[in-house]
Amino acid sequence: MSIGEAAKALGVSITTLRRWEASGKLVAEHTAGGHRRYDLAKLKPELFRSEAEACRRTVAYARVSSHDQKDDQKDDLERQKQVLELYCARQGWT
């Protein structure tokens, strides 16, 4: 799909897609004429899952690694949880 269609599908601006590509967050194919083309299956993989995959759940594991972190365990564990939830969401995992 074109950059405009991809931007609309993701709910971001065309400039954002160009910035993401420049930073390596996103990969676009380029036509012979230099136009960007995006694969919707890579941008929004949740739209292309089979029924069996859609029923799958992901389990993420976080822990505090040492007794020395006891005072900050709750905060550290909460940060780890947020990072894992964000990563899973970006992968399109439930």
**So which residues are the catalytic ones?**
65
Over the range 54-74, which residues count as b (16 or more CB within 10 Å of their CB) and which as e?
Answer: eeeeeeeeeeeeeeeeeeeee
Strand partners, 30: 36
Integer Cα distance of 36 and 90 in angstroms = 22
Specify whether the backbone of 57 is left (phi greater than 0), alpha (psi in -120 to 50) or beta: beta
